[in-house]
Amino acid sequence: MTFDFAAGPQGTVMPPTPTSPSEGRTTLVTVDIVVLVIYFLLVLAVGFWSMLRTKRSTVDGYFLAGKSMTWWPVGASLFASNIGSGHFIGLAGSGAAAGIGAIAYEWNGMLMVLLLGWLFLPIYISSGVTTMPEYLQRRFGGRRTQLFIAVLSLFIYIFTKISVDMYAGALFIQLALQWNIYLAIVLLLSVTAIYTVAGGLAAVIYTDAAQTAIMLAGALTLMGFSFAEVGGWSALMEDYADAIPSIRVPNSTCGIPRDDAFHIFRDPVTSDLPWPGVIIGMSVPSMWYWCSDQVIVQRSLAAKNLTHAKGGSLLAAYIKILPFFAIMLPGMISRILYTDEVACADPQLCEEICGNSVGCSDIAYAKLVMELLPAGLRGLMMAVMIAALMSSLTSIFNSASTIFTMDLWKSFRSRASEWELMIVGRVFVLVLVVVSVLWIPVVQASQGGQLFIYIQSISTYLQPPVSIIFLMGCLWRRTNEKGAFWGLAIGLVIGCIRMLLDFIYPAPLCFEEDDRPDVLKYVHYLYFSTMLSFITLVVVVVVSLATEEPKPEQISRLTWFTRFDPVKPNQQVFTVEQSMTDLEVVNNQTDEMEKTEQEGSNGKARHHRRDSASSVSSIRSQSRLMSALYWLCGMERRRQSDDDPPPAPAPEPTVCSLEEKPRLRLLVNVNLLICLSVTAFIIGYWA
């Protein structure tokens, strides 16, 4: 059931009247469906092409794309992994609800992705690690910090990434096709599952690059239509303040645009985004996301060398200027054009319009797509939203599977076979999806209908302690395992308490009295992030100084000051590749034992060969099926025949070089200065 709104006397809005889904709403037509089909064929073609280019039978090839990626697919994949459907829906919704303030998160990310390329990546590359929990295990020793971070990363993926992206993509499809939101979620998951079958980080990165081009083309096209419809830049600046819905709760601020809508730095006490919190409290969680999150770092580690990794960071930083113009400003225009729906201020009316009594600002972007774009371009924008969803989901699924399988499951089953590890990784993805679906109703009702603000507020409760641990581990040699663990544990306990209070005492609506505890009412979540970071830092420093120093092998090539240390002859860089090689050796030995036993039994029962011919044929057909399944999963398992040569010994692990060609290093450094100057200018202009 959908609703149309009829204009009454003096421009007031009459009560909604029910209409059928086919009346009064723009839906996709045949040409839009054709565009969508072409998009899916293009993405699948790129995925299979890139899949065939990489040797996925090795762990290095499967999880790090063979470390062969150049700067442009790395940068495009960094951007695509970050800009999911949650960004299109949430960033535009925040623009419609409260102005440009939330764009500070994007421009802060520009600085952090550059920090990744120039500070953190050299350390990760010199250490030779594959996952971020693995780095902590090598840097601090022991297992508890590694397991702690692995579990926390998976929780963060559920709370702030997977469920949010699924909800945002499903919301868009619901508005376009009038489907039930959970039916839309099932459809999205089915499509993503098909896409994920291609497997391997190389396929994900190259398809991300293609989808980045599609996202930018579609978003910039919609931006042009939006500005043309509203009357240009000056009309946006003037009309946004007058975009007040016709039906409001009397004697309240409901539905009234903010006076500081076009400012990033806002009042430090009474505003929704206080400027001291934007500078400090926003940067620390952002550092976790861009500099120590497996989803982001894994793409940079796939670059062929450090220069290409830096180039990828630069490209991602430059592209991140565009969401302000292509996503946030169109969201603000949507409020001007469709004020009574996008900016609805009456809970009952909001429930009828978008099914969310808290607010409907999250429909701002989808509303523009369905109302402004002609046939064909609506299909393109639907492809853009699905591209954003799929690029982020497949990236998260790949990284979450890596962390769970290699850092958690293998910790408890050190002799698990390759087959077991691959099966566990894929089953875990299904569990991750189910939990995320169950969390969607909480996402839907949180933070006043502003999806983007929900993401960031949760991040400030869980991510600052992790950022401090990585920062201290990389920059302070004296940091030890006890300091890191207790700083992380105490910081997360405090953060979780605040997060639980936020869910127990949700923010009141604009016409309700705020009776929450003082820690919620008077301590903004960005200020809380700052305090949480400071508490964690103090605990790490005090405990580290009060306990023993870390061992030399926990320092060499694992900090900024020791990244160029020579590798000792007996020093081994433990990687996931080695662990998988060990498993393959065990599997081969087991296969040889089974083969010997089988030959012995065959010698005793040769007269039964003719009777078992059909069984042999059945086994061969099953072997072909299993080989196909292994290939789809990015593995190739071959049994050796008697004529095959013995396996070659595993190669010595190569130490990743930090050397750069002087001219290329100069080129990226000059671009670094240019990018920093551009970032400082745009932040200062809108501050």
196-225 pLDDT, tens per residue? 555 556 667 777 788 788 888 889 999 999
In 505-547, which ranges are continuous DSSP H helix? Answer: 518-521, 525-546
SS (H, E, C) 143-189: CHHHHHHHHHHHHHHHHHHHHHHHHHHHHHHHHHHCCCHHHHHHHHH
Q: Nearest-CA neighbor of 398 among 62, 661, 53? A: 62
What is the distance between the alpha carbons of residues 502 and 529, in angstroms, rounded to a whole number? 14
Where b means 16+ CB within 10 Å and e means fewer, 552-572 reads eebbbbbbeeebeeeeeeeee
pLDDT tens digits for 350-386? Answer: 888 877 777 888 889 888 988 888 888 888 887 777 7
Say whether 644 sits in a helix, a strand or coil.
Answer: coil
Question: What is the C-alpha R_g of the chain?
Answer: 27
> Which pLDDT does position 626 carry in this prediction?
63
> Which pLDDT does position 200 carry in this prediction?
57
What is the distance between the alpha carbons of residues 361 and 339, in angstroms, rounded to a whole number? 10
What is the distance between the alpha carbons of residues 36 and 289, in angstroms, rounded to a whole number? 31
Cα angle for residues 356, 463, 562 (degrees, 5° grid) = 155
pLDDT tens digits for 562-596? Answer: 999 887 654 544 444 444 444 444 445 445 444 54
Which of the residues in the chain have pLDDT under 70? 1-28, 47, 50-66, 85, 170-172, 174-181, 187-203, 251, 418-419, 422, 436, 440, 442-456, 568-656
DSSP label of 592: H
Helix axes 71-82, 377-403, angle to 10 degrees: 100
> Which pLDDT does position 630 carry in this prediction?
57
Residues in the chain, how many?
Answer: 687
Say whether 617 sits in a helix, a strand or coil.
Answer: helix
pTM for the full model? Answer: 0.79
Cβ contact 84:167 at 8 Å: no
Say whether 3 sits in a helix, a strand or coil.
Answer: strand
What is the distance between the alpha carbons of residues 392 and 204, in angstroms, rounded to a whole number? 10
What is the distance between the alpha carbons of residues 592 and 366, in angstroms, rounded to a whole number? 59
Alpha carbon 347 to its chain centroid, in Å, reads 32
What is the distance between the alpha carbons of residues 416 and 162, in angstroms, rounded to a whole number? 28
| Continuous segment of H or E residues that includes residue 18 | strand 17-19
How many CA atoms are closer than 13 Å to the CA of 338, on its beta-carbon side?
24
What is the distance between the alpha carbons of residues 374 and 573, in angstroms, rounded to a whole number? 56
Alpha carbon 230 to its chain centroid, in Å, reads 33
> Structure tokens of 500?
């639980």
> Structure tokens of 393?
């989901």
Cβ contact 215:387 at 8 Å: yes
Q: Nearest-CA neighbor of 150 among 337, 487, 365, 409? A: 409
> Structure tokens of 437?
């679906």
Neighbours of 576 (CB within 10 A): 21
What is the distance between the alpha carbons of residues 658 and 122, in angstroms, rounded to a whole number? 7
> In 403-556, where do the E strands start and end?
none
Tell me the domains of the chain and their CATH numbers: 29-548+666-686 (1.20.1730.10)
What is the distance between the alpha carbons of residues 301 and 124, in angstroms, rounded to a whole number? 8
Cβ contact 168:12 at 8 Å: no
